[in-house]
Structure formats: structure tokens, C-alpha cells
Structure 1
Amino acid sequence: MTFCTTCALPSRTQFASPELVEAIVEGGHDRADDPAWETSGAATVEDYALWCGHLCGLTCLRMALGPDAPSLFDLRDGALKYGAYTVDAQGDIHGLIYAPFAEYAREELGLDATVHRTLTVDEIAGLLDEGRTVMASVHYGIRRPERPAPGRGGHLVLLTARDGDRFHFHNPSGISPETRCAELPSAMFETFFAGRGVSLGPGHGAGPRA
């Protein structure tokens, strides 16, 4: 775990070995060959390999909770109980589903979680100015912002701060330190952004329940 100098929150990836993220997401590296898989909290390497590619949203949550957050798979187990993910008859995983996720964050983790079914970059700026963090739906191509955005949505990043019109965010599938703790002008960010997300702020008695 490393800490971001801009926002002082932990920088984490949804894969147990940050140095393998590029190989996994762009090179087809077998997730089951991640030597650090046990640090995720998964019970088995098979469970880790099946789920880690779906846990960008919970990695965002884990970063927002700070350095003492539960393990990634402890959060997965909690989110499953609230229906924030579903698994169909074919074994395909669906989620993160925002409403039950927000209920989980409120009820079990003490966070003030609000679903934004429509959201603009100006509204994101306002939420950041209020001291909230924002889980925003973007295209995973945001890890290579030098390329034109190939689409919008399908992946979640955690916006933590802004400097004028520049957004600072943490990307759970960033392929380098610079793309894991990244900054982009809001206009460039918008080209990847699907216009929805979840904002998080401290609640009463914030923190994971014992």
C-alpha cells in the first residue's frame, strides 16, 4: 500500500500485485498466477481469480475508508449480502449495483453514501469541494488518457480532490503509479465519464462495524 501525496488516501489496486496490473489487464496474464493473491482476503486462489476483475468499485470504497479498511474480499462478502453483486445461473458476475452498494456502505460501514444516477463534471467539482469523494463510472481506457476515449462507463475510479479544473483520482486498474494516482483536466475526464456514480462522505459513527 502507498499513500497519495495529493489527498493522503491509500492507493490500492483491485489486483493483489500492482506490478502485474498491466500484464493482467492488457497482456492476458493469468490472474491465478498472482503470487500475492492471499493478501486480498480471498479464501482460495480460484475465488480471487474469478472476482478480482469485478472489484474496481470495492477497491474505490476500500481506498475511501482509509488505511484501516477491511480486506477487499471482506468488503466483497459484505456487498454480496446486500445484493450489490449478483451471480447468474451461468456463473457470470453482475455489478456493482449502486443502490444496494450504497445501503451496504451506510448500514455496515457508517459512510454517507449517495447514488447519483445522473451526474455532471460540474457537480463532481461541487461534491469534491464539500469534502466528499466520488466513485465515478468511466471507461477503463482512462488509464491511457493520451489516446482518444474509446467509450464511457464500465469501470469505477475514485475522485478525491480537484485543483481548479483538474480532477485528481485513484484508478484501481492503473498500470503505473502515475495512472493509479492520476490527474486530468475535467474536460478530458468527461470524455471517459458515463455521467453517473456514488459520492461518499463520513457518516455518524463512520468506520467498519466490529
Structure 2
Amino acid sequence: MTCALCPLPVHTQFATAELVGAIVEGGLDPAEDPGWAESGAGSREEYARWAGHLCGMTCLRMALGADAPPLFELRDGALKYGAYTEDVEGVIRGLVYTPFAEYVSEVYGREATVHRHLEVDEIPELLDAGRTVLASVHYGIRHPERPAPGRGGHLVLVTARTANGAGLHFHNPSGTDAGTRAAVLPTAEFERFFAGRGVSLGAAEVPGWGAGPEA
């Protein structure tokens, strides 16, 4: 699926988009996802263990465009660079921004900049320069009508600003329907969930995206 506002595909971090809501909000075991093999995971168990951690890889997959590798192939590359780690108890940690940026630059030729302190008002400037932004937000951003329960812990791909500069278009790997997978929010609303950090990627090879229509 692609977004009508830009040529980048819209992907979810769980293989069956229609089951994202049941998994992230309804308690469905990801191992029950019938599409798990499409992710490139080696087994149902590996898929169930990792898919919930791969919002960053899903953002990368969208940013790379239609010819991007499968999700778990991207995960494998990120592991080699140390962008994900596992502790002695097997707890998965990441995405670690600096090795992730090195991975994207060296393997996919896309210049990546880590922004440890990023103001929400700086994001449109990055977009206008032809960049996409992996922004750290709270996963509750899929329910903007509710109070923000926190900031950070989840990554979305910011793809464009609205034409009047007052809003942001973004793709959410854990969006539960079409409107939250390819979403738009006023900048002030986005900021309620935004942790003030992220990674921006150099211009995509596919041309023609930047400012979207006014929301």
C-alpha cells in the first residue's frame, strides 16, 4: 500500500495489517499472525519475539521505497551493526541510533543524521531539505483524541509537512487503520507525543515528495 500524499509505501511492523489493532490493543499473540512468513522471519517464534520491536526497521523499509528488503532482512543488518542488542536474559534493546545511522549510510547509501535534541519546529526544515525523519513518539499517537500518556518509545516516519506548515504527515508502523497508518496531525498535537529526538535520512531516490496538501 502507498500513501496518496507521497510515493513512499505504507507498512506495518506486523505482517497482517488488519491484525495490528488486535495485537497491540487486543492482546492477540503475534505468533497467531498468519502472514508472519512474509516478514522474512525464520520462524513463527522469531517473528512473535521481534515484530513488536521493529518499528524503526519498518520506518527504514518505508523510507527505502518499493524495492526495500523484507523486514527481518533489515533487522539482520541492524543486528550486525549493533543497532539492536540483547542482554544476558535475552531482553531486546534498541533501536540504538548511532549504529543504525552507520548501517543505513554504509549499506543503503542514505546519509543519516542522529538528532539527540530535535525541536518539533525543526522537523519541517528537514522535510523541506528533502529528508525523512524517524521521530521518537509515544505509541499512543494513534489516539490523538486522548491525553498523551508519555513521549517516546516508538518510531514513526515523518514524510511531509502540510502546505501551510502547521501540520505533519507521518507513517505509523503500529497504526491500526488506514487513517492512523498514514496520518496527519497539527504540529502542536504531534509534539504532545514527541520525545524531541530522532534520525533524519537523506533524500530518497524516488522524487516528488515534500510538502503535502494542507490539512
Name the TM-score, length of structure 2 as normaliser. 0.93
Would you say the 8 A contact 2:130–2:204 is kept in 1?
Answer: no
Give the drift of 1:133. Answer: 0.2
- Indicate yes or no: 2:175 matched with 1:174: yes
Would you say the 8 A contact 2:63–2:204 is kept in 1?
Answer: no
CA distance in 2, matches of 1:36, 1:203: 28
CA distance in 1, matches of 2:40, 2:121: 37
Alpha-carbon deviations, 1:20-54, whole Å to 9, x = none? Answer: 00000011101000000000000111110000000
RMSD (Å) for aligned C-alpha atoms: 1.0
CA distance in 2, matches of 1:197, 1:38: 29
CA distance in 2, matches of 1:8, 1:183: 16
Could you say which residue in structure 1 is the equivalent of 2:127? 128
CA distance in 1, matches of 2:53, 2:204: 26
Could you say which residue in structure 2 is the equivalent of 1:208? none
Identity %: 69
Would you say the 8 A contact 1:112–1:203 is kept in 2?
Answer: no
CA distance in 2, matches of 1:9, 1:134: 13
Alpha-carbon deviations, 1:4-27, whole Å to 9, x = none? Answer: 010121000000000000000011
Between Structure 1 and Structure 2, which shows a larger proportion of strand residues?
1
1:169 counterpart letter in structure 2: F
Could you say which residue in structure 1 is the equivalent of 2:2? 3
In structure 2, relative to structure 1, the CA distance for the partners of 1:71 and 1:90 (3 Å cut) is: same
Could you say which residue in structure 1 is the equivalent of 2:116? 117
Alpha-carbon deviations, 1:37-75, whole Å to 9, x = none? Answer: 000000111110000000000100000000100000000
Write the mapping of 1:185-204 to structure 2, written as runs, cut at 5 A.
185-202=186-203
Could you say which residue in structure 2 is the equivalent of 1:154? 153
1:181 counterpart letter in structure 2: A
Name the SS for the 2:111 alignment partner.
strand
Name the SS for the 1:11 alignment partner.
coil
CA distance in 1, matches of 2:143, 2:7: 24
Give the drift of 1:202. Answer: 3.7
Alpha-carbon deviations, 1:94-121, whole Å to 9, x = none? Answer: 0000000000000011111000000011
Name the SS for the 2:74 alignment partner.
helix
CA distance in 1, matches of 2:112, 2:7: 20
2:167 counterpart letter in structure 1: R
Could you say which residue in structure 1 is the equivalent of 2:72? 73
Give the drift of 1:203. Answer: 8.1
- Indicate yes or no: 2:50 matched with 1:37: no
CA distance in 1, matches of 2:2, 2:82: 31
